Structure 1
Amino acid sequence: MEALYRKYRPKNFDQIIDQLQAKLVLQNAIVKDKVSHAYIFTGPRGTGKTSVARVLAKALNCDNRVNYEPCCQCENCISIDKGIHPDVIELDAASNRGIDEIRRIRDAVGFRPMLGKYKIYIVDEFHMLTREAFNALLKTLEEPPEKVTFILATTNLEKVPATIISRCQVIEFKNFTESDIAENLLRISSIENLKLHENAARLIARRAAGGMRDALSYLEQVASYTLNGIITVESVEKALGLLPSEIVDRYIDYLLNGNFIQIDELIDRIFIDGYDVYQLVQSAIEKIEERISQKPSERLLKVAQGLIEISKELRFVENKKVICKILSMNLAATNQKTLEQTAPQIEQIIVPTEQTHESRDRRPDDKSQPEQSLQIEEILNWIKEEKDLSIYVALVQSRISQKNNTVEISFLPSQRFQYEYLREKILELEYLFKTKAKKDIVINIFIDEEREKRILQKLQENFPGKIRIEE
C-alpha cells in the first residue's frame, strides 16, 4: 500500500498548496524561458521542496506543456512521476555526501539529455555534503552546460557555504498553516473514505507543526488505529500517544491556582501511565497560547513564560520527572495569592530565603542585622542568573539559614524529591557557595519534620474542624 504523502504528492503547480513565492518565481521563469541553472530550495521538512522540484522537472521536459503546467500524461511526465526518467537524477546527500559522488555528477553533466529537453539534478539535504564535495561542485554550479539545472534542497541553509549560495537562486519554503493542513486532510479523508472529524483534523495539523508530510503520516497512523470508526480527537490522542486535553487543562489550572500537591500527584500519574512530561509541558504551552489569544491576562503570560523556561530545562536533563516537578511547583508558587490572603499568619511552605529563628526575634529598630541573609540572597540570585536554574528552583523551596561557615538547607517531608535532588548535587552546591562567598562553606541538607508539625498545627488553629492530622 502506497503511503498517503506519496500518493497525494502534487503533480502540477495547481495542486501545490500555498508556497506562493516558489510558484510565482518558477512559473514566470518557465513561461519566459529564463530558468536558472541552479536553485536552492530551503525551508522546514515536509513543506514540498522535493515535490516542487519534480513539478519543475516535468514542466521543463513535458512534450505537451500549456504555459507552465505539465500535462502529466506524456512519457516524460509519467517517467518522472515514477522516478525512472534518465534525465532527472535525484540524489540524497545525506548518504552520498563525498567528493566521489560530486565528481560523477561533474563528469556526467557534459552529456546531452537523452529523452527530455533538460537534464535536472535534484540533490536533497545537500547541506550535508563534505567541504571537499562543496568545492568540487563550485565550478559546475558557476558554469554548467546548457540545458542543465541543479535543484538543491536543504533544511539548514546556514550550513551551506556562501560561495555556493552566491551561485544559486534561493527560494524559501515556509510552513503550512494549520488551516491549510486541516483542509487538505479533510479533502484526502473524503477521497479515502475516512470519517475524519474536523476537530481531529485540526489536532493532527497542530501536531504536524507546519509539515504536510508529517500530517499525512499521522493521518495514516490514526486511520490504522481506528480501522473503520470515526476519527475523533480522542482517537487521535490515543493513536499518537498524546496527552488527553483534560489532563493538560488540569495541569494549567493547578499552575494558575498554586496547587502544589495536585501538581505532584498529576506528574506522578503521567509518568506511571507512560507519558512524557516534556510533552506535557509542550502541550501546556500550546493550550495556554490558545487561552491568551482568547482572553489575554498577566497571569497567563507569566505562566506561559514559566512553561517556556521549564521546556528549555527539560531538554538537557535525564531525570525529567523530578525537574519538571520542581520547576512546576515553583511556577505554581508565584501564583499562590489566595492562600496568602486568606491565611496570612500561616508559615509559608515555599520561600526564597528565610531568616533563622534568632533573626526573626529581632525588634524592628534593631539595626544590627546579620549579614548572612543578604549573602545567601545574593548567592541565590547569582545561581539563578548565571549558573544552574534547576538548583535555584530547588533552593527557593527550602528554608535556608547560616551558622558561621555552615549553611543549613531544610525541607518538609512532602518535599522529599527536592531534598534528594540537592543531595545528589551537594558537591556542586558547596562549590557554588564557596565561589560566591569566597570562603569555605559546609552544606547541611536535611528533612525538618518538626516544622511540618508546626505548620499543620497553625492550619488547625486557623481552620478549626477542617484540618485533621493523622499520625
Structure 2
Amino acid sequence: MEALYRKYRPKNFDQIIDQKQAKLVLQNAITKDRVSHAYIFSGPRGTGKTSVARILAKALNCPNRSTYEPCCECESCLSIDRGTHPDVIELDAASNRGIDEMRRIRDAVGFRPMMGRYKVYIVDEFHMLTREAFNAFLKTLEEPPVGVTFVLATTNLERVPPTIVSRCQVIEFKNFTETDIFQNLMVVAKKEGLNLEEDAAKLIAKRSAGGMRDALSYLEQIANFALGEVISLSLAEKALGLVPSEIVDQFIDYIITGKISQIERLLDTVFENGYDLAQLVALSVERIEERISQNATIELLQLAKDLLEISKELRFAENKKTICKILAMNLAAKSSESRQEVVQKSKPVEEIVQPREKKVDSNLSQIEELLQWLKDEKDMSIYVALTQSRITQKGHILDISFLPSQRFQYEYLREKLLELEYLFKTKMQKDVVVNLFIDEEREKRILQKLQENFPGRVRIEE
C-alpha cells in the first residue's frame, strides 16, 4: 500500500498548495524559457521542495507541454513520477556526501540527455555534503553544459557555502498554515473514505508544525489505529500517544487555582499511565497560547513563560517526574499566594504556631521567619514541602512529620536534609537536629476523629 504522502504528492503546479513565490518564479521561467542552470530550494521539511523539483523536471522534459504545466500523461512525465527517467537523477546528499559522488556528477553532466530535452539533478539535503565535495561540485555548478539544471534542496541554507549560494537562484519554501493543512486533510480523508472529525483534523494540523508530509503521515497512522472507527479527537490523541486534552486542561487549571495536592496526584497519574511529562508541559503551553489569543492577560503570559522554563529544565533532566512535580507545585503555590488563598490540607501554619508537644514562642517565630524567607528569596520548593508538614520542637531537635499521603514531600526533603539543617541552624543561630519521618499514627487519629464526627460515612480499611 502506497503511503498517503506519496499518493497525494502534487503532480503539477496547479496542485501545489500555497508556495506562491516558488510557483510564480518557476512558471515564468518555464514560459519565457529562462530556466536557471541551478536552483536552491530552501525551507523546512515537508513543505514540497522535492515535489516541486520533480514538477519542474516534468515541465522541462514534457513533449506535450504548451504552457508551464506538464501533461502528466506522457511516458516522460510518468517515468519521472515513478523515478525511472534516465535524465532525472535524484541524489540524497545525506548518504552520498563525499567527493566521489560529486566527481561522478561532474563526469556525467557532459553527456547529452537520453530521453528528454534536459538533464535535471535533484540533490536532497544538499547542506550535508563535505567541504571537499562542495569544492569538487563548484566548478561544475559554475559552468554547466547547456541543457543541465541542478535543483539543490536543503533545510539548512546557512550550512551551504556562500560560493555555492551566489551561483544559484534561491527559492524559499515556507511552512504551510494550519488552515491549509486542515483543508487538505479533510479532502484526503474524504477520498480515502475516512470519517475524520474536524477537531481531530485540527489536532493533526497543529502537531504537524507546518509540514504537509508529517500531517499525512499522522493521518495514516491514526487511520490504521482507528480500523474503520470515527476518527475523533480522543482517538487521534490515543493514536499519536498524546496526553488527553482534559488532563492538559486540568493541569493548567490546578496551577492557576493553586491546587498543589491535586497537581501532585495528577502528575502521578500521568506518569503511571506512561505519558511524557515534558509533552504535558509543551501541550499546556500550546493550550495557554490558545487562551491568550482569545483573551490575553498578564497572568496567562506569565504562566506560559514559567511553563517554558519548566520545559527547559525537563529537556535534559534524568528524574523528570520529581522535577516536574516540584516546579509545577511551586507555580501553584505562587498562584495561591497571589490570590491570597491558604492551602488547607494539613493546616501547617496553625500547627507551627501552637504545636501540641511544646510551645516555645521565640523559636517558633524564628521558624515562621525562615518559612517566609524561603518563600520570598530562597527556595520555593522547600517552602512548599515544609508547609505541607507538621513541625514541632523538643529542645535542639526539630521533628518534621508527614502523613503517609505526603510521601513525595518527605522524600524530597530527605534528599535536602543537609541543606535543611544548615538553613535552620543559620536562622535559629544554634545547633539543631532535623528529624524527618512519616507519622502514620497521626493519620489514624485524624481518620478516627472523622469517624466519630461522621459515623457510618467514614470507613477505615487496614
Question: TM-score, normalised on structure 1?
Answer: 0.79
Deviation at 1:44, TM superposition (A): 1.2
1:40-94 C-alpha deviation (Å, 9 max, x unpaired):
1111111111101101111111111132111111121111010001111001111
Q: Secondary structure at the match of 2:151?
A: strand
Deviation at 1:156, TM superposition (A): 1.6
Deviation at 1:142, TM superposition (A): 1.7
Q: Identity rate of aligned residues, in percent?
A: 63
Deviation at 1:284, TM superposition (A): 0.9
Contact 2:40–2:170, Cα closer than 8 Å, also in 1: yes
Contact 1:37–1:150, Cα closer than 8 Å, also in 2: yes
Partner of 2:298: 298
- The aligned amino acid for 1:447 is L
Across the aligned residues of Structure 1 and Structure 2, the Cα RMSD in angstroms comes to: 3.8
Q: Secondary structure at the match of 1:189?
A: helix
Output the CA distance in 1 between the equivalents of 2:414 and 2:34.
Answer: 68
1:147-166 C-alpha deviation (Å, 9 max, x unpaired):
11111111122222222222
- The aligned amino acid for 2:292 is I
Output the CA distance in 2 between the equivalents of 1:104 and 1:422.
Answer: 65
Contact 2:127–2:157, Cα closer than 8 Å, also in 1: yes
Partner of 1:311: 311
Decide which moves more: 27-36 or 253-262.
Answer: 27-36
Count of residues in Structure 1 that have an aligned counterpart in Structure 2: 422
Partner of 1:85: 85
Is it true that 1:197 corresponds to 2:197 in the alignment? yes
Deviation at 1:229, TM superposition (A): 2.0
Decide which moves more: 207-216 or 31-40.
Answer: 31-40
Structure 1's 211 and 445: CA in aligned 2 closer, same or farther, altered over 3 A?
A: farther
- The aligned amino acid for 2:215 is A
Q: Which runs of 5+ in 2 are unaligned?
A: 351-359, 388-397
Output the CA distance in 1 between the equivalents of 2:258 and 2:18.
Answer: 44
Contact 1:412–1:449, Cα closer than 8 Å, also in 2: yes
Contact 1:42–1:170, Cα closer than 8 Å, also in 2: yes
Question: TM-score, normalised on structure 2?
Answer: 0.80
- The aligned amino acid for 2:123 is V
Decide which moves more: 240-249 or 331-340.
Answer: 331-340
Output the CA distance in 1 between the equivalents of 2:407 and 2:228.
Answer: 48
Q: Which runs of 5+ in 1 are unaligned?
A: 350-355, 363-368, 381-391, 401-407
Q: Residues 22-101 of structure 1 correspond to what in structure 2 (within 5 A)?
A: 22-101=22-101
Structure 1's 339 and 285: CA in aligned 2 closer, same or farther, altered over 3 A?
A: closer
1:136-194 C-alpha deviation (Å, 9 max, x unpaired):
11111222221111111111222222222222221111111111111101111111111
Q: Secondary structure at the match of 1:336?
A: helix
Partner of 2:395: none
Q: Residues 246-285 of structure 1 correspond to what in structure 2 (within 5 A)?
A: 246-285=246-285
- The aligned amino acid for 2:3 is A
Partner of 2:436: 447
- The aligned amino acid for 1:76 is S
1:315-356 C-alpha deviation (Å, 9 max, x unpaired):
111211111111111111221147735689x6669xxxxxx9
Output the CA distance in 2 between the equivalents of 1:420 and 1:205.
Answer: 42
Partner of 2:223: 223
Output the CA distance in 2 between the equivalents of 1:99 and 1:43.
Answer: 25
Contact 2:385–2:413, Cα closer than 8 Å, also in 1: no
Q: Secondary structure at the match of 1:335?
A: helix
Output the CA distance in 1 between the equivalents of 2:133 and 2:240.
Answer: 40
Deviation at 1:238, TM superposition (A): 1.6
Structure 1's 332 and 82: CA in aligned 2 closer, same or farther, altered over 3 A?
A: same
Deviation at 1:394, TM superposition (A): 3.7
Output the CA distance in 2 between the equivalents of 1:246 and 1:98.
Answer: 50
Deviation at 1:3, TM superposition (A): 0.6
